[in-house]
């Protein structure tokens, strides 16, 4: 199994265009840019699936040689997209994929409903490409060497979908190929039993690193919204849980622009290292064989 981390930031990216917080200013000064979270995964190195479709997708695809069409063809190695939620930072990139000949989209029934009704993007791109909505089941074989399982980890609906009902709004995927496994959970409201089960025995877990602390937004922007009310378990609360799984490699992704850990020289990284965890890097390649 090969996994390419296409982007590691939360919605807005780093720096965020309208944010003058310390972290965004520093990033702008240093020329540091984190793009919005997205993953590419392959069982055989030839057929690839995207997990989430970020607003930065075009740039991310062009920066990834494995995802380029073979010269002289108009054939993409991208076989489809799996969505962990219907949030805009995970779905706006679907617009970029409209040039595809066909576009299988794997998601829960709730997410498909949002993309049909509240934010009818599949309707819109359906005029350009053959959208093939697939409702993800418990276990799904994607290609011969790659299977996906899901766990529902949250029920926070996107703000634009406030009227819709149903469950299964936020999921984690566990990918398995040749006996190795990786879990992708860029949004994780709590370390639940469902999450504990899906990461059991996994080799690698990429998980929600939106905020380092519960009150980070208060300090950075005067907002009164704690991390947990926004559906994001802060890194600091995840570290003791991570320490209980010494055989699994944990990397945080979906970092908000206020998160001090977005900067490689942050003193807070010492806490992370002590727990045996890492911050995922833009374009990082993980090879699980």
Interface residues with Mn ion (CB under 5 A) are: 10-11, 87, 89
Indicate whether 261 belongs to the interface with Zn ion (CB under 5 A). no
Q: Which stretch, 86-94, 112-120, 214-222, 280-288, contacts ligand MLT (CB under 6 A)?
A: 86-94
Q: What is the spatial order of strands in the sheet that 38-42 belongs to? A: 130-135, 102-107, 78-82, 48-51, 38-42, 2-7, 285-287
Indicate whether 262 belongs to the interface with ligand MLT (CB under 6 A). no
> Could you count the other beta carbons within 10 Å of the beta carbon of residue 219?
12
Separation of alpha carbons 42 and 4, rounded Å: 9
Indicate whether 231 belongs to the interface with ligand MLT (CB under 6 A). yes
Indicate whether 10 belongs to the interface with ligand MLT (CB under 6 A). yes
Extract the tokens encoding 288: 């699980």
Indicate whether 172 belongs to the interface with ligand MLT (CB under 6 A). no
Q: Which residues contact 270 (CB under 8 A, 6 or more apart)?
A: none
Among 158, 164, 270, smallest CA distance to 212 is for: 270
Ranges within 18-77 binding ligand MLT (CB under 6 A): none
Question: Residue number with the shortest CB distance to ligand MLT?
Answer: 11
Indicate whether 89 belongs to the interface with ligand MLT (CB under 6 A). yes
Contacting residue, 3, 19, 27, 100, with Zn ion by CB under 5 A: 19
Q: How far is the CB of 53 from ligand MLT (least distance, A)?
A: 13
Q: How far is the CB of 283 from Zn ion (least distance, A)?
A: 22
Q: Which stretch, 69-77, 87-95, 137-145, 265-273, contacts ligand MLT (CB under 6 A)?
A: 87-95
Residue 131 or 235: the one with the smaller Cβ distance to Zn ion is: 235
Ranges within 131-170 binding ligand MLT (CB under 6 A): none
Query: Distances in Å between the alpha carbon of 14 and those of 151, 177, 230?
Result: 29, 32, 19
Separation of alpha carbons 279 and 275, rounded Å: 12
Q: What is the spatial order of strands in the sheet that 249-253 belongs to? A: 139-143, 146-154, 170-177, 180-185, 204-208, 249-253, 277-279
Q: How far is the CB of 96 from Zn ion (least distance, A)?
A: 25
Q: Are the C-beta atoms of 167 and 186 separated by less than 8 Å?
A: no
Q: How far is the CB of 50 from ligand MLT (least distance, A)?
A: 17
Q: Which does 51 bind (CB under 5 to 8 A by kind): Mn ion, ligand MLT, Zn ion, none?
A: none
Residue 1 or 19: the one with the smaller Cβ distance to Zn ion is: 19
Q: Which does 21 bind (CB under 5 to 8 A by kind): Zn ion, ligand MLT, Mn ion, none?
A: Zn ion
Q: Which stretch, 47-55, 81-89, 92-100, 274-282, contacts ligand MLT (CB under 6 A)?
A: 81-89
Separation of alpha carbons 112 and 184, rounded Å: 19
Contacting residue, 11, 80, 177, 234, with ligand MLT by CB under 6 A: 11
Residue 9 or 146: the one with the smaller Cβ distance to ligand MLT is: 9
């Amino acid at each position: 199994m090969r996994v390419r981390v296409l982007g590691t930031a939360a919605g807005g990216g780093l720096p965020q265009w309208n944010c003058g917080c310390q972290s965004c200013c520093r990033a702008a000064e240093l020329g540091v840019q984190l793009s919005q979270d997205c993953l590419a995964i392959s069982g055989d190195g030839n057929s690839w699936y995207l997990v989430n479709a970020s607003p930065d997708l075009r740039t991310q695809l062009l920066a990834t040689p494995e995802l380029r069409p073979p010269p002289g063809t108009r054939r993409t190695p991208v076989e489809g997209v799996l969505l962990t939620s219907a949030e805009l930072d995970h779905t706006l990139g679907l617009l970029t994929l409209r040039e595809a000949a066909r576009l299988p989209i794997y998601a829960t029934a709730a997410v498909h409903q949002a993309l049909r009704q509240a934010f009818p993007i599949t309707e819109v791109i359906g005029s350009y490409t053959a959208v093939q909505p697939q409702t993800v089941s418990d276990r799904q074989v994607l290609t011969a060497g790659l299977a996906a399982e899901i766990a529902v980890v949250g029920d926070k609906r996107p703000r634009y979908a406030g009227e819709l009902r149903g469950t299964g709004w936020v999921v984690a995927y566990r990918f398995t190929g040749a006996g190795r496994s990786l879990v992708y959970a860029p949004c994780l409201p709590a370390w639940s039993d469902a999450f504990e089960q899906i990461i059991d025995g996994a080799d690698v877990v990429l998980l929600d690193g939106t905020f380092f602390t519960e009150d980070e937004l208060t300090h950075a922007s005067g907002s009164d919204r704690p991390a947990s009310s926004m559906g994001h378990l802060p890194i600091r609360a995840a570290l003791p849980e991570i320490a209980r799984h010494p055989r699994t490699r944990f990397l945080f992704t979906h970092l908000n622009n206020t998160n001090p850990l977005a900067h490689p020289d942050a003193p807070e990284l010492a806490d992370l290292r002590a727990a045996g965890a890492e911050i995922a890097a833009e374009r990082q390649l993980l090879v699980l064989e």
